[in-house]
Amino acid sequence: MNRHLIDWIWHIRGSLTLAPEQSSDEAFDRLAPLFRQTGTSHERTDDTLIFRKKNQAAQDKMSVFDGGVLQIAKGMPAPVLHYHLTSRALLFCFVLPLLFLGFAQLTIAVGNLEKPSTEAVDKSKKSTKKDAALPQNPIDKALGAPAPEKPKKDGADKDKDKKPSPTPAYVFAAIFATLYVVGRILEDRLVKALFRKRLLDS
């Protein structure tokens, strides 16, 4: 499978047009504070900046990213910043819903396998209960008193009858899927706004 068909899951790419008179050195100097954070290392050449993050602090405005490349292409009428960022957090949020959906399907399959044996046990219990009717006092019977009721199931019996439910797995899958969709869209916009503010604001 071509990696470029799936790397959009955890890769964020974008571009930003700079001011016509802005040089590569000036642009990277404006962005420099973003790469002086705890756990961040970077290398800079004339038109390219490569950064990596490890154990980044939560206060870091780019903490969701683990690394990336920023490159300035000189062109007319103005230079353009191209960036390519990677995020394991986005990949994690994408994979987890699939994992929980797998758990849900496994729970359903196990429930279907246990169903025939449970039905057989239930039928056996019902027939035993019919055969073992509770005795009634002859005097009560002569007076027309109703037959004694069978004792109700206690909590332990009810717990035994409960079948594993796939609902929790579906709930967690939905939560992480929502986190991924929101994060993928939001982080794309936030990082572009962050670069724009650093580069274009006076």
User: pLDDT tens-digit profile of 154-199?
Assistant: 555 555 556 778 899 999 999 999 999 999 999 999 999 999 999 9
Task: Cite the beta strand spans of the chain per DSSP E.
Answer: 11-17, 40-44, 48-53, 67-73, 80-86
Task: Indicate the SS3 state at residue 17.
Answer: strand
DSSP for 149-173 reads: PPPPP-HHHHHHHPPP-SHHHHHHH
pLDDT at 53 over 80: yes
How many whole angstroms separate alpha carbon 24 and alpha carbon 195? 14
Tell which residue, 180, 200, 181, 185, has the closest CA to residue 81. Answer: 200
Percent of the chain residues past pLDDT 70, beyond the cut: 74
Q: What is the pLDDT of residues 64-118, one digit of tens each?
A: 999 999 999 987 789 999 999 999 999 999 999 999 999 999 988 888 887 766 5
pLDDT of residue 102: 94
Mean residue pLDDT of the chain comes to: 84
pLDDT of residue 148: 62
Q: Could you give the count of Cα atoms lying within 13 Å of 167 in the half-sphere of its Cβ?
A: 3
In order of their start, the domains of the chain are: 3-88+185-200 (3.30.160.110)
Task: Indicate the SS3 state at residue 103.
Answer: helix
For 45, 88, 133, 185, the CA distances from 39, given in Å and listed in that order, are 21, 16, 75, 25
pLDDT of residue 58: 87
pLDDT of residue 1: 57
pLDDT of residue 112: 83
Asked, as a colleague might, if the bond just before 146 is cis with ω within 30 of 0, I would say no
Q: What is the pLDDT of residues 110-164, one digit of tens each?
A: 888 877 665 555 566 555 555 555 566 666 566 666 666 665 555 555 555 567 7
pLDDT of residue 165: 87
